[in-house]
Amino acid sequence: MTSPVPDVSDDDFREILAQTRKFVRTAVVPRESEILSEDKVPDDLRDQAKAMGLFGYAIPQEWGGLGLNIVQDVELALELGYTSLALRSMFGTNNGIAGQVLVGFGTDEQKARWLEPIATGDAVASFALTEPGAGSNPSGLKTKAVRDGQDWVINGNKQYITNAPVADLFIVFARTRPADDNGPGIAVFLVPADTPGVEIGAKDAKMGQEGAWTSDVTFTDVRVGGDTLIGGSEDIGYRAAMTSLARGRIHIAALAVGSAQRALDESVGYAATATQGGAPIGGFQLVQAMLADQQTGVLAGRALVRDAAQKWLRNEDRRIAPSVAKLFCTEMAGKVADLAVQVHGGAGYMRGVPVERIYREVRLLRLYEGTSEIQRLIIGGGLVREAQRAL
């Protein structure tokens, strides 16, 4: 089976990738300490990212985005992972979990209203699925949407919502009926952040990823029009969430490989120059073994995530391969970052040393968009179901 023709030609994509790499390495890397200490991506970097089209790199060109496909998305994420993950998070929800729900499931009117401001970065979209007690198992969510004439009235609490403190639009998952034989009864709505009854909580104090913000969002008698029901159907929500999350897993896997590459480069640079007893620590074979394990993980992860993206593009596997890639690459990045701290010795534990930041930042990648345990359930359960279907 051949790959579909991408929206973006190879030449144009090479240029986008080169510009992104240059932006990351020459403009953002030198500002990492500032992002960390200010807990904010500086406005001038945000403006540059906006001008480069990064808020809409995965939004189709007909809606004002760059139109990268998932294979190209992976190459871009490998670059974005090389610096503070807050940079990617700033436009990650627009391109990923939130934006893809609209791209995949919105009506033409909904796309026309929202996708262009999302693609340009004039609007920030947040994906509001997780609730207390409904994270790994979102089918148990309790936020309710009740029909009232032409409108819907939404009540409920969401937690850990990325970009909520700066969001203009929430993609809100809410139950319209109890789960039954027809499905989980979950719909998804477009809720502008300034709708009366939407309350954004204080910014969460997180372990890492300074500059990337999350918070609770509470919906109290939030009234929205019938035209805000995504896809015009009450039964789209759960499928939309699962599809968007599965695609996002490939992106997160690539991001993890990018971070691991940076941790490796920092480790090699340190090992080649730092000395003990007058000799470079890179001369010690046990240090070389750590570098070898890091390099092996990075190369394996990169090959795996590229393969998973090809399988997605060809519609060969949109369920097991994304979970395999996320599971392996995010666990690998955790191990590589841990080894990076080890290679640095005491310096690796000090604020301001890149590997200390990376160690904390990549920890999140094993938690959101499905924990490692959930990926294992998807992979293992999927394999067994495939075997049973073949009987």
Ligand X SMILES: Cc1cc2nc3c(=O)[nH]c(=O)nc-3n(C[C@H](O)[C@H](O)[C@H](O)COP(=O)(O)OP(=O)(O)OC[C@H]3O[C@@H](n4cnc5c(N)ncnc54)[C@H](O)[C@@H]3O)c2cc1C
Q: Hey, which residues are catalytic here?
A: 369
Shortest Cβ distance from residue 310 to ligand X (Å)?
Answer: 26
368 belongs to the binding site for ligand X (CB under 6 A): yes
Among 162, 323, 330, 375, binds ligand X (CB under 6 A): 162
Residue 385 Rama label (left phi>0; alpha psi -120 to 50; beta): alpha
Among 20, 69, 100, 214, binds ligand X (CB under 6 A): 214
Would you give the distance in Å from CA 212 to the centre of its chain?
A: 12
CA distance 248 to 63: 20
- Taking each helix axis as running N to C, give the angle between helix 354-361 and helix 237-273, from 0 to 180 degrees, rounded to the nearest 10: 160
Shortest Cβ distance from residue 286 to ligand X (Å)?
Answer: 32
Number of residues located near ligand X, criterion CB under 6 A: 19
CA angle 122, 145, 172 (to 5 degrees): 30
Among 364, 365, 378, 379, binds ligand X (CB under 6 A): 364
Query: Contacts with ligand X in 182-211 (CB under 6 A)?
Result: 206
> For ligand X, which residue has the nearest CB?
135
Shortest Cβ distance from residue 230 to ligand X (Å)?
Answer: 15
Among 199, 373, 383, 385, binds ligand X (CB under 6 A): 373
Among 94, 130, 215, 375, binds ligand X (CB under 6 A): 130
CA distance 360 to 198: 31
Among 127, 152, 170, 312, binds ligand X (CB under 6 A): 127
4-12, 131-139, 148-156, 294-302 -> range binding ligand X (CB under 6 A): 131-139
User: Which residues, other chains included, contact 110 with Cβ-Cβ below 8 Å and sequence gap of 6+?
Assistant: 102, 190, 227, 228, 230
Tell me the three state secondary structure of residue 127: strand
CA distance 287 to 111: 53
59-67, 143-151, 160-168, 334-342 -> range binding ligand X (CB under 6 A): 160-168
Helices (H), the chain: 10-22, 32-38, 43-51, 70-80, 85-95, 97-105, 108-120, 237-273, 285-313, 320-344, 354-361, 372-389
30-38, 78-86, 288-296, 364-372 -> range binding ligand X (CB under 6 A): 364-372
Residues that bind ligand X (CB under 6 A): 127-130, 135-137, 160-162, 206, 214, 364, 367-368, 371, 373-374, 377
